[in-house]
Every structure is written in C-alpha cells, then in structure tokens.
Amino acid sequence: MESNGRACAEPGCPEPGEFRAPPLEGASTGGPPAFRWMCLDHVRAFNARYNFFDGMTAEEIHHAQRPLAGWEAETRAFARGHGGGQGPRWADFSDPLDAIAARYRREPAADRPDGKPLSGEDRANLKLLGLGADADRSALRKRYSELVRRYHPDRNGGDRSHESQLQKVIAAYQALRGAPAFA
C-alpha cells in the first residue's frame, strides 16, 4: 500500500502511515471520524491491545454478546407498498463490467417478425408441434387442433396408442399459450 505522504500517527515513528486505525477517544469533529494512519508495527500493537468491552459493565457486555445483538433495528423494505419508501433503482448501481445489465437485456429475437423473445423451452415446444420460430398465435391454435384430431382416441376408433403423444401436444400448447411470445 502507498502511504500517500502520511506519517505514522505514533509519536516519534519515521515510518509511513499505511494502515487505518480508529481515532482517539473523545476526538470528535462533528463529522465523519478522522482516522489515524499507522505503520504496520504500530497498527499490530494497537490491534493487540484493543478491547471493545473496555469500560462496559457486565450487563452491557452481556447485552452486546447476545446472539441477535445488532439485528433488532428494522430495515427498509425494498418492495413497494411495505412502507419505507421506494426501493433502489437499477440505475443507482454502477455496472462497469456490464454483468447485471447483460443478463437482463431484452434484445429482439432475430427469428420472429414481432421481435418477441423465445426461451429454449418455447423453441422445444414449437418443434414438438412442428412449427417454426416465426409462428403466430393463430398458427399455434390451428396446428394444435390438427394434432389433437390426429392423436385423440375418439378420432382413432378408441386406439390409445397415441395417448402419450397427445399429452405432450397438450402440455406444449398450454406452455406456449402462456409464453410472452404468444401473449
């Protein structure tokens, strides 16, 4: 680490102050605390003699060591309608590597004229129904009707050998009917 020109806060130490330590007790400026900067040897010595519980009564120590100590304060709800104001917006976050935005970016689907996206499951269901990715809602209904007529036992003289295929067709149609691309 670079010391940025700071000297060790320990009197008489010529080493650069590279490590941050809390300010002296009672040294309040009214704003954020002005940290002390120390060299490695002096910050190690400071940490070795530091005692969080110094000056506390036994009851205060017991209260601070409870399993839920510090968790009593309520936090602001991020969901709307739960009080505490509106939650954070995505624009409030820095995303220099485009890690968040790339995952949630909605780019129009190149193989659909309406630009609506198709998931992998949607594509598999379209393939099962024998439709292309550019199919619309009316083509979906028409193909579903054709396949139900083909595989239904009532249309095949009671032959139930195609019943599993019929169930797959019905499940695929139901899934596609609720998909964003066909809404």
- In this predicted model, what pLDDT tens digit does every residue of 85-133 receive, in sequence order? 565 676 677 777 777 766 666 655 567 777 788 888 998 999 999 998 8
Question: 42 pLDDT exceeds 90?
Answer: yes
The domains located in the chain, with CATH, are 1-73 (no CATH), 120-182 (1.10.287.110)
pLDDT at residue 88, as a whole number: 63
**Residue 167 pLDDT > 80, yes or no?**
yes
Percentage with pLDDT > 90 across the chain: 30
Q: Which of 123, 126, 119 is nearest to 140 (CA)?
A: 126
pLDDT at residue 29 greater than cutoff 70: no
pLDDT at 116: 81
Write out 135-160 in H/E/C secondary structure: CCHHHHHHHHHHHHHHHCHHHHCCCC
Q: Name which of 12, 15, 18, 51 is nearest 36 in CA terms.
A: 18
- Res 130: pLDDT: 93
Instruction: Tell me what percent of the residues of the chain surpass a pLDDT of 70.
Output: 77
pLDDT the model gives residue 82: 53
Q: Are the C-beta atoms of residues 39 and 16 closer than 8 Å to each other?
A: yes
The span from the CA of 55 to the CA of 140, in Å, is 76
Q: Which of 62-71, 89-98, 138-147 has the highest mean pLDDT?
A: 138-147
Tokens of 160: 């139930």
pTM of the model: 0.42
State residue 105's pLDDT score: 65
Q: Which residue has the higher pLDDT, 22 or 82?
A: 22
pLDDT at position 81 is 52
Give the mean model confidence (pLDDT) for residues 15-37: 78
